[in-house]
């Protein structure tokens, strides 16, 4: 409550109290023989003040209730507008007529939902729209091997990024699951193929399962990309960002193992430092992260992470020096968008 709101009822109460007490004192003095007619006039004046204060207090109470009611109605109207906008965005994603919606309409609908704080609904819809469908190639009635998701990888990553930034734990988990499920279709050297919410920054409040899914998605995306120095640099700084941003021993132990699998190849390339957002990461920082390498107390998770780390080490050993894909120059500086 603002100062104005509590000051008015306080003054009214003081006036009411004074108007109730003082007339009684004056009447008492009159009955004792010490009062005169001016005191009676004062009593009448205070009675008038009493009536005025009571009316003021009642009016303030009515005004406060009206203000609260109007504020609640405004919130309800805004929520209704948001719901209507979300429904219209959903219609863009799922048109009533037969056929497939245009990719631009799908992208607009999904991104509109994220801006309306409906990230959970957006990633739920993305679950089907980003599926790895196989369709028949033109001129090949027997079918083909062409992958045709209904939304682009870039649009999907924007939706996942918004979900990871949301406060909904379920939206974060679904987003991490989708990222991991489709990781092998992404390119580690393309900045638009990785959510900026976990690129150059890390939220330690992620649930353990969400963390594991994101880390696995990062490793699998990298191993599915072309084995070259740019991709190796990308995973090095991204892994270090997770290690540096998370204080739990389990996460640092896992990340330390992965960094230990690739740091030898980085030494062979003569890498000294990396630009990581607003910070500079050095090879010494990565070396320090390897000292925390440890197996997870869960034997099953320890075995899985060791197997994945060994695969990452084999991939790193096969990396070439020369970049071969467009956008390779940008991998020298992993900057959050």
pLDDT for position 271: 82
Confidence at residue 32, expressed as pLDDT on a 0 to 100 scale: 47
Task: Indicate the pLDDT class of residue 77, thresholds 50, 70 and 90.
Answer: low
Is it the case that residue 243 has pLDDT exceeding 80? yes
Q: What is the mean pLDDT of the segment spanning 232-239? A: 92
Position 253 scores a pLDDT of: 94
Mean pLDDT computed over 89-105: 59
What pTM does this model have?
A: 0.68
SS (H, E, C) the chain: CCHHHHHHHHHHHHHHHHHHHHHHHHHHHHHCCCCCHHHHHHHHHHHHHHHHHHHHHHHHHHHHHHHHHHHHHHHHHHHHHHHHHHHHHHHHHCCCCCCCCCHHHHHHHHHHHHHCCCHHHHHHHHHHHCCCCEECCCCCCCCCCEECCCCCHHHHHHHHHHHHHCCCHHHHHHHHHHHHHCHHHCCCCCHHHCCHHHCCCCCCCCCHHHHHHHHHHHHHHHHHCCCEHHHHHHHHHHHHHHHHHCCCHHHHHHHHHHHHHHHHHHHHHCCCEEEECCEEEEHHHHHHHHCCCCCCCCHHHHHHHHHHHHHHHHHHHCCECCCCCCCHHHHHEECCC
- The domains of the chain are located at 3-59, 224-337
Tell me the per-residue pLDDT of 8-34, one tens digit each, with 9 for 90 and over.
Answer: 455 455 555 555 555 555 555 554 454
| Span 116-137, pLDDT tens digits | 777 888 888 888 888 765 433 4
For the chain, percent of residues with pLDDT exceeding 70: 66
pLDDT level of residue 139 (50, 70, 90 thresholds): very low
Whole-number mean pLDDT of the chain? 77
pLDDT classification of 232: cutoffs 50, 70, 90:
very high
pLDDT for the residue numbered 315: 96
What integer pLDDT is reported at residue 82 of this predicted model? 58
* pLDDT value, residue 332: 52
Tell me what pLDDT residue 321 has: 77
């Amino acid at each position: 409550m603002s100062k104005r709101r509590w000051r008015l009822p306080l003054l009214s109460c003081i006036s009411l109290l004074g108007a109730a007490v003082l007339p009684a004192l004056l009447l008492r003095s009159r009955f004792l023989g010490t009062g005169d007619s001016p005191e009676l006039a004062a009593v009448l004046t205070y009675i008038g003040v009493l009536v005025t204060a009571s009316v003021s207090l009642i009016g303030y109470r009515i005004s406060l209730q009206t203000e609260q009611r109007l504020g609640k109605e405004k919130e309800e109207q805004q929520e209704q507008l948001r719901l209507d906008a979300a429904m219209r965005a959903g219609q863009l994603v799922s048109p009533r007529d037969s056929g497939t919606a245009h990719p631009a309409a799908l992208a607009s609908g999904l991104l509109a939902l994220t801006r309306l704080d409906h990230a959970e609904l957006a990633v739920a819809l993305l679950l089907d729209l980003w599926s790895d469908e196989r369709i028949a190639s033109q001129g090949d009635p027997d079918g083909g091997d062409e992958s045709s998701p209904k939304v682009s990888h870039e649009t999907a990553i924007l939706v996942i990024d918004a979900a990871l930034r949301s406060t909904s734990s379920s939206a974060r988990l679904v987003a991490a699951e989708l990222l991991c499920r489709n990781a092998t279709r992404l390119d580690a050297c393309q900045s638009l193929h990785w959510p900026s919410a976990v690129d150059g920054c890390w939220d330690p409040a992620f649930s353990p399962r969400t963390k594991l899914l994101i880390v696995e998605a990062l490793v699998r995306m990298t191993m599915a990309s072309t084995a070259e120095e740019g991709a190796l640099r990308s995973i090095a700084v991204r892994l270090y960002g997770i290690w540096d941003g998370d204080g739990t021993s389990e996460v640092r132990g896992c990340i330390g193992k992965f960094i230990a699998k690739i740091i030898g190849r980085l030494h062979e390339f003569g890498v000294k430092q990396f630009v990581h957002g607003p910070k500079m990461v050095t090879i010494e920082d990565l070396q320090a992260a390897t000292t925390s390498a440890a197996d997870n107390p869960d034997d099953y998770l320890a075995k899985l992470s060791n197997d994945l780390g060994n695969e990452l080490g084999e991939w790193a050993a096969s990396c070439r020096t020369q970049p071969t894909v467009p956008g390779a120059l940008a991998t020298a500086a992993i900057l959050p968008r």
